[in-house]
Amino acid sequence: MFVKKKENSCYTYFSIRGDFDPEVVTSMLELNPYKSWKSTDKRPNGTQFGFACWDYGRCEEYDVETENQMMKTIADLIPKINILNQIKEKFDVEFYLEVVPEIYSKNASPTLGTNLDIIDFCYKTRTLIDVDLYVMG
């Protein structure tokens, strides 16, 4: 029988959401997302998404210093700030830097701090930092 280890984990990724064609964003950024869909695409349950999504840079290399994971996620995007801002203006989309830690109450908690490079990137691109924290028993 498989028993999941009760260890902390975390993943991070960058997400663009709105009404746009993900293939155009891929072409503009010259980066391939790990996941994307159009607003007209269907979910597995048959309903329509209603918004487009372009997710990039998923980092699952757990580091108690989550800023290290965030930096790995945005490293390829930092030199493309001008293009990201063109995308934001052209398609009226929102950017998110997603941080998804899963912590166990008996283990040390990860830090959720950022460094100035992350703050600078988020400021220049108007990226929201979204933390979805899962605390396990």
In which residue are the tokens 């396990």 written? 136
Phi/psi for 112 (5° steps) reads -115, 30
Identify the residue with better confidence: 64 or 15. 15
Buried b (16+ CB within 10 A) or exposed e, 80-94: beebbeebbeebebe
pLDDT of residue 4: 60
Please give the model's pTM, rounded to 2 decimal places.
0.88
Residue 40, CA atoms < 13 Å, CB-side half-sphere: 2
Phi/psi for 110 (5° steps) reads -70, 155
Q: What confidence tier does 41 reach under pLDDT thresholds 50, 70, 90?
A: confident
- Give the residue from 92, 113, 91 showing the smallest Cα distance to 101: 113
Contacts of 117 (CB under 8 A, 6+ apart): 71, 78
pLDDT of residue 110: 65
pLDDT at 1 over 60: no
Return the structure tokens found at 119: 């703050």
CA distances from 82 to 5, 14, 19, 55, 78 (A): 42, 16, 20, 18, 9
Q: Which whole number is the average pLDDT over 62-73?
A: 90
Mean of the per-residue pLDDT values for the chain?
90
Identify the residue with better confidence: 133 or 12. 12
pLDDT at 136 over 90: no
